[in-house]
């Protein structure tokens, strides 16, 4: 009996032993600072995967790691001297002095971006990326949108002195947009484009989500914001009064059969929806029966022969190519459709070829393919890149024009900045009436930029706003406000 107990104890001791000699891997225990030394405790038995993870977390050079695992005891990488100390059981300590010298050429933005990344700072979701949306208010008069005017109503708060509305439409201003007291609540009318907006009320200094609005999302400030859509498409289906459930679905909703529920009205069913600029196919589902929109004559067959209703939101842009009358087929391709070479076949006209196409606001590159031959748009003076990589450039719904009213004799002027990653070739300006111009679409926010005149970088002489950069030259500063 005693012997059995002894063996069991031995077995347990062996189990424990094998557990502790197994190369433990805990990234939280790898790095420490002690007395001005930065020390990494590493295990020689770690797997390649574990080594790689540590190297990535702590930005350790692969050459350094290789030398450590080859048994070197003193290693110099760049101007840093590393020492290796052997501990027991395959453990080693890799150390060097904690860096304390400043670096003149450090780019602060890079530094903070790294820290932001570590701290998981996620910015607000871009409102432009939203394809569709609808409202969900508890009381119908809390929000009304018609003819480009949005009316927000906050019932109650009768004793408040001042109420403001603050949201993405006014850059979250806490003071620009006061509401009016109407005896039983607060009201404001705002001119807004169709789209998604996040907002809050500020009642005597206190942030308040809209009590009537059931739609909320987590904001940058760690609290919920109300969300509203200024709708631009009214889906309507007359009749079917006895139906239990009517939904609309389409490519904007990935043809999900759950669909977006329509509301019963006195004449049938309806749903006001926001849809981003573009072309959409859709159908109604009346008690699970598919139905094209009887009120919309635009019906097309899809690849499997099913009929779908179609609608377009936004003004189409007319792409044109004059001439090429003997060509058999001309295709439009560009960054707006992922450079698809077959999708957008142009229509033949008396003068050449054309295609009306709806694309949202933005900067796009494109080319025509005439009988298999790629070409830039001969009628468009704006292009990016050179040689085979030259593409025509168009800014749709451009909201800013870069202008340089100087250097009329320059051979080439480029505008470059934070909007295109400081690309030195991309955006060539066009000379027009002695000035250099470049129309562009820029999302709301801050931009830094410069002009490159025949290879020389210059500030925008017409812009008094500029800031320092890591090269000790300066960059011009431009703010684009929110669309209103």
Q: Are 198 and 216 in contact (CB under 8 A)?
A: no
Pair of tokens at residue 134: 């609808």
Least gap, CB of 38 to other proteins (angstroms): 8
Pair of tokens at residue 14: 């062996």
The closest alpha carbon to 460, from 394, 420, 396, 401, belongs to 401
Return the residue of 245, 446, 455, 484 that touches other proteins, per CB under 8 A.
446
- Contact between 125 and other proteins per CB under 8 A: no
- Contact between 204 and other proteins per CB under 8 A: yes
Return the residue of 7, 11, 121, 422 that touches other proteins, per CB under 8 A.
121
Least gap, CB of 75 to other proteins (angstroms): 15
**E strand map for 57-123:** 74-77, 80-86, 91-97
Interacting residues of 326 by C-beta distance below 8 A, sequence separation 6+: none
Pick out residues in 90-119 that bind other proteins (CB under 8 A): 98-116, 118-119
Least gap, CB of 477 to other proteins (angstroms): 6
Q: CA 101 to CA 453: how far, in whole Å? A: 37
Pick out residues in 293-312 that bind other proteins (CB under 8 A): none
Span from 214-222, 259-267, 277-285, 286-294 in contact with other proteins (CB under 8 A): 214-222
Least gap, CB of 408 to other proteins (angstroms): 28
- Contact between 173 and other proteins per CB under 8 A: yes
Span from 135-143, 221-229, 377-385, 406-414 in contact with other proteins (CB under 8 A): 221-229
Half-sphere exposure of 408 (CA within 13 A, CB side): 5
Q: CA 190 to CA 293: how far, in whole Å? A: 32
**How big is the CA angle at 151 (ends 150 and 154), to the nearest 5 degrees?**
140
- Contact between 178 and other proteins per CB under 8 A: no
Pick out residues in 453-482 that bind other proteins (CB under 8 A): 464-472, 477, 479
Return the residue of 175, 218, 299, 401 that touches other proteins, per CB under 8 A.
175
Residues in contact with other proteins, shown as a per-residue x/- string from 34 to 63 under the rule CB under 8 A: xxx-x------------------xxxx---
Least gap, CB of 400 to other proteins (angstroms): 16
Return the residue of 79, 88, 159, 242 that touches other proteins, per CB under 8 A.
79
- Contact between 223 and other proteins per CB under 8 A: yes
Least gap, CB of 54 to other proteins (angstroms): 10
Q: CA 189 to CA 168: how far, in whole Å? A: 15
**How large is the greatest C-alpha to C-alpha distance in the chain, in angstroms?**
106
The closest alpha carbon to 286, from 245, 242, 241, 236, belongs to 245
Least gap, CB of 91 to other proteins (angstroms): 17
Residues in contact with other proteins, shown as a per-residue x/- string from 316 to 355 under the rule CB under 8 A: ----------------------------------------
Q: Looking at beta carbons only, is 142 or 160 nearer to other proteins?
A: 160
Q: Are 370 and 330 in contact (CB under 8 A)?
A: yes
Return the residue of 418, 420, 423, 425 that touches other proteins, per CB under 8 A.
418
Query: Which pairs count as long-range contacts for 168-176, CB under 8 Å and 24+ apart, including other chains?
Result: 168/124, 168/127, 168/197, 168/198, 168/199, 168/482, 169/197, 169/199, 169/482, 169/484, 170/482, 170/484, 171/444, 171/481, 171/482, 174/202
Q: Looking at beta carbons only, is 204 or 307 nearer to other proteins?
A: 204
- Contact between 126 and other proteins per CB under 8 A: no
Least gap, CB of 479 to other proteins (angstroms): 6
How many residues lie near other proteins (CB under 8 A)? Answer: 72
Q: CA 295 to CA 281: how far, in whole Å? A: 14
The closest alpha carbon to 194, from 153, 147, 262, 226, belongs to 147
Q: Looking at beta carbons only, is 134 or 207 nearer to other proteins?
A: 207
Pair of tokens at residue 332: 């439009």
Span from 86-94, 365-373, 383-391, 440-448 in contact with other proteins (CB under 8 A): 440-448
Residues in contact with other proteins, shown as a per-residue x/- string from 142 to 171 under the rule CB under 8 A: ------------------------x----x
The closest alpha carbon to 444, from 475, 419, 414, belongs to 419
The closest alpha carbon to 332, from 370, 381, 278, belongs to 370
Return the residue of 2, 20, 123, 304 that touches other proteins, per CB under 8 A.
123
Pair of tokens at residue 480: 């684009």
Q: Looking at beta carbons only, is 15 or 221 nearer to other proteins?
A: 221
Least gap, CB of 181 to other proteins (angstroms): 18
Sign for the pseudo-dihedral over CA of 393, 396, 402, 408: positive
């Amino acid at each position: 009996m005693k012997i059995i107990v002894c063996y069991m104890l031995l077995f347990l001791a062996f189990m424990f032993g094998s557990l502790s000699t197994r190369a433990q891997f805990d990234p939280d225990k790898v790095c420490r600072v002690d007395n001005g030394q930065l020390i990494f405790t590493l295990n020689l038995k770690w797997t390649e995967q574990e080594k790689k993870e540590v190297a990535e977390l702590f930005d350790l050079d692969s050459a350094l790691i290789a030398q450590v695992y080859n048994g070197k005891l003193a290693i110099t990488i760049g101007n840093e001297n590393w020492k290796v100390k052997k501990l027991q059981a395959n453990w080693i300590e890799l150390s060097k002095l904690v860096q304390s010298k400043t670096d003149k050429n450090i780019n602060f933005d890079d530094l903070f971006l790294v820290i932001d990344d570590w701290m998981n700072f996620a910015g607000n979701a871009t409102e432009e990326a939203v394809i569709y949306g609808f409202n969900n208010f508890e009381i119908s008069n809390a929000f009304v949108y018609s003819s480009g005017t949005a009316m927000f109503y906050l019932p109650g708060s009768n004793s408040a002195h001042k109420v403001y509305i603050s949201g993405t439409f006014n850059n979250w201003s806490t003071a620009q947009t006061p509401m009016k007291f109407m005896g039983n609540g607060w009201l404001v009318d705002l001119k807004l484009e169709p789209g998604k907006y996040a907002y809050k009320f500020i009642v005597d200094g206190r942030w308040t989500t809209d009590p009537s609005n059931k739609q909320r999302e987590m904001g940058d400030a760690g609290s919920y914001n109300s969300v509203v859509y200024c709708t631009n498409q009214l889906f309507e289906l007359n009749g079917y009064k006895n139906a239990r459930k009517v939904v609309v679905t389409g490519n904007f909703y990935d043809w999900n059969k759950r669909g977006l529920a329509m509301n019963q009205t006195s004449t049938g069913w309806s749903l006001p929806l926001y849809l981003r600029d573009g072309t959409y196919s859709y159908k109604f589902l009346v008690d699970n029966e598919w139905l094209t929109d009887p009120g919309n004559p635009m019906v097309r067959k899809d690849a499997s022969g099913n009929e779908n209703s179609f609608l377009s939101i936004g003004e189409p842009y007319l792409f044109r190519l004059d001439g090429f009358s003997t060509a058999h087929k001309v295709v439009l391709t560009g960054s707006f459709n992922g450079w698809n070479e077959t999708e957008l076949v142009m229509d033949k006209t008396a003068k050449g070829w054309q295609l009306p196409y709806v694309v949202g606001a933005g900067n796009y590159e494109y080319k025509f393919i005439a009988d298999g031959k790629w070409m830039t748009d001969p009628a468009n003076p704006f292009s990016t890149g050179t040689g085979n990589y030259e593409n025509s450039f168009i800014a749709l719904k451009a909201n800013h024009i870069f202008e340089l009213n100087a250097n009329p004799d320059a051979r080439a002027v480029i505008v470059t900045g934070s909007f295109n990653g400081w690309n030195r070739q991309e955006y060539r300006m066009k000379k027009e009436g002695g000035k250099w111009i470049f129309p562009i679409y820029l999302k709301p926010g801050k931009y830094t930029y410069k002009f490159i005149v025949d290879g020389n970088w210059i500030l925008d002489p017409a812009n008094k706003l500029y800031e320092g950069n890591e090269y000790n030259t300066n960059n011009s500063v431009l703010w684009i406000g929110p669309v209103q």
